[in-house]
Amino acid sequence: MSQPFHHIQSLLSPEDLQEIDALVTGANFADGKATATMAAKQVKNNLQLDKQDGAYKAILSVINRAVENSNYFQAAAQPKSIYPFIISKYGAGQFYGWHVDSPLMGDPMIRTDMAMTIFLSDPATYEGGELVLQGAAGPVAFKPAKGDAILYPCQFLHCVNEIRSGERLAAITWLQSNIRSAEQRQLLFELNQVQGVLQQRDPFSPESALMLQAYSNLFRMWADV
C-alpha cells in the first residue's frame, strides 16, 4: 500500500501567503508548551501565536478558506471536525522532539485521526526545521515550499528538527475524519483519484460510473458518522 503521507502543493495561494505575512508581522507569540500534553511537554521548544492577538482570527480565516476549497485535502482527509489551527514559530536552537499526538483534543473533544502542517516560510530562509515522520520504512523528512502542506495519520511518531538558523513559521491542526481507519481512508482517496481521471477522460463512460459506484458503496460501508 502507498505511504499515507500527503504532500499538498500550494494549499495556500501567493495572495494568501502575502496576507498572512502582513498579519503575523508584530503579532504576539507565547511559549508553545502551553498547548502540549503528556510527554510532548518535555520535548517541545517553540513559540505559538497568542489566540487573543487580533491577527490570529484573521489568519485563521485565510487558512480555513483555503482548506475548505482544497479538493485534495477534502478527498484525502474526509474531515468531520477540524481543530482550530495553531500558528507556530521556531527560531535558532528551537525544535520539537520525537512525540506522538494526543488521541483526543479540544472542547468538544475530537478523535485525532490526522494531523496537518502548513509551511508558512520559504525553506531557503531557514536551516533545519524539517518535519520528520517515522514511517514503516524509516524516517521521512519534509521541508516543502512555502504554502505547501503535509497531511498524515496521527499514529506516527514525528518531530521537528532543530532550527540551525533563520525562522520557521507553520500552521498546525488535527482532525477527526469521517473514515476512522487510516487504511480505508487511503484506499478511498486512491479510488477517488482514479475516478477523477476517468471522469475527465469521459464523464459518461461506464468505467467512470462503475468506479464512482464502488467508491460510494465503500464510503457508505466504512463511514463513521
Q: What is the grid cell recorded at 138?
A: 524509516
Residues 6 or more apart whose CB falls under 8 angstroms from that of 116 comprise 73, 77, 149, 150, 151, 152, 172, 173, 174, 175
For residue 67, the model assigns a pLDDT of 98
**In contact, 150 and 144? CB cutoff 8 Å:** yes
Low-confidence ranges of the chain (pLDDT < 50): 1
Q: Which of 20, 5, 9 is nearest to 121 (CA)?
A: 20
Topology of domain 6-177, per CATH? Answer: Jelly Rolls (2.60.120)
Q: Residue ranges per domain, the chain? A: 6-177, 182-222
SS3 string, the chain, reads: CCCCCEEECCCCCHHHHHHHHHHHCCCCEEEHHHHCCHHHHHCEECEEECCCCHHHHHHHHHHHHHHHCCHHHHHHHCEEEECCCEEEEECCCCEEEEECCCCEECCCCEECCEEEEEECCCHHHEEECCEEEEECCEEEEECCCCCCEEEEECCCCEEECCEEEECEEEEEEEEEECCCCHHHHHHHHHHHHHHHHHHHHCCCCHHHHHHHHHHHHHHHHHCCC
For residue 36, the model assigns a pLDDT of 63
For residue 194, the model assigns a pLDDT of 96
For residue 3, the model assigns a pLDDT of 66
